[in-house]
Amino acid sequence: MQSRLIRTDGLAQQVLEAGEGPLVLLIHGFPELSLSWRAQIEALAAAGYRAVAPDMRGYGGTDRPKGPENHTILHLVGDMVDLVRALGVDACVVVGHDWGAPVAWHCALLRPDVFTAVAGLSVPFQPRRPKGPPTAAMAAITRRAGLGDLYISRFQAPDAHEALDIDPATTLRKLFWAYDGATPAEQRSTGFLPSGVDLLDTIDDAATLPPWLEPAHFEAYVAAFAAGGFAGPLDWYRALDLNWTQTRFLQDQKILQPALFVVGENDPVRLYAGAHEAGLKDWIPGLTRSVVVPGAGHWIQQERPEVINALLLDFLAELGTLGTVL
């Protein structure tokens, strides 16, 4: 496994890669890095695939342009198209986790010629709302239900990243712990925040590193976010309404490629995104499997690497029988 910098159209992307063979592109989420895919890169390479995981726009060793207008879903998909081309191939399978899952789903929607199959982990495909931008509706629904603010609503504030920047080690330790499947249910984050209470203040100060996260890997996360901060990552959230405006042409469009969805049974994200799991087959007719991993939380490819590796390899093997070009 090696790391290198690849210059694509307008962006320098740091990637972690290994193996030779058909390309599998691995897209991380928040607050993560290409490092989050270390177990999958090794397993895919050993099975005869070329596995490549970039630090995404705004993260780690990849360029960090400023402002939500530079972090739209169209930018993120475009980055992945440029990366595939820079790697010297025409097509690949794309896999995304957390925020990387919506990017992967949109890669499949926007460029089916490049992304011939797609797997999403933890976050199901959510079709474009027909009735207006999402953030105002999100805030109104959660408050009307007496749930307070969803953290995504709080992240819309232009200075929301500053609280996370104060102590990146504490921020990361708390977030990894609060969304881990092994954390007691009553201490896992719900994602909903009472009025006047910040996200990190809802998580126990005694939070410890999850058992799957080795100290050396945690230190790599901390170093990356200490250097780059959380402004770029939160700009992905602050671009949600802009994404809605720019993707009108995708209204009611379905994903037609073969697809896989995997989620952890104890993933707190299911509290606010889980309703979309039931309708996945309606929007993704080629969905081959939808898997709930018992006991797993949000960081599913790190919590259950053997399970995710096996599911991905089975999915890739199935693509050959379906006639999908890898």
pLDDT of residue 138: 84
Q: Determine the average pLDDT of the residues in 79-89.
A: 97
Q: Determine the average pLDDT of the residues in 172-197.
A: 94
Average pLDDT of every residue of the chain: 95
Catalytic residue (one of 98, 149, 235, 267): 98
pLDDT of residue 41: 98
Mean pLDDT lowest among 92-96, 118-122, 133-137: 133-137
Q: Determine the average pLDDT of the residues in 52-76.
A: 97
Which pair of tokens denotes residue 26? 């691995």
Q: Determine the average pLDDT of the residues in 115-137.
A: 94
| pLDDT tens per residue across span 284-317 | 999 999 999 999 999 999 999 999 999 999 999 9
pLDDT of residue 144: 76
pLDDT of residue 196: 86
Q: Determine the average pLDDT of the residues in 15-20.
A: 98
Inform me whether the pLDDT recorded for 268 exceeds 80. Answer: yes
pLDDT of residue 326: 62
Domains in the chain, ordered, with CATH?
2-130+248-322 (3.40.50.1820), 134-237 (no CATH)
| pLDDT tens per residue across span 204-233 | 999 999 999 999 999 999 999 999 999 999
Inform me whether the pLDDT recorded for 52 exceeds 80. Answer: yes
CA 56 to centroid of chain Cα atoms? 10
Inform me whether the pLDDT recorded for 10 exceeds 90. Answer: no
Which residues are CB-neighbours of 167 under 8 A, at least 6 positions away?
none
Residue 241: which of 57, 69, 27, 29 has the closest Cα? Answer: 69
Cβ-based neighbour number of residue 250 at 10 Å: 16
- 71 noted as active-site residue: no
Mean pLDDT lowest among 96-100, 257-261, 320-324: 320-324
- 161 noted as active-site residue: no
Which pair of tokens denotes residue 253? 């469009």
| pLDDT tens per residue across span 145-159 | 778 889 999 999 999
Inform me whether the pLDDT recorded for 251 exceeds 70. Answer: yes
Residue 267 CA: distances (Å) to CA of 180, 196, 231, 293, 295: 7, 25, 25, 10, 9
CA 107 to centroid of chain Cα atoms? 13
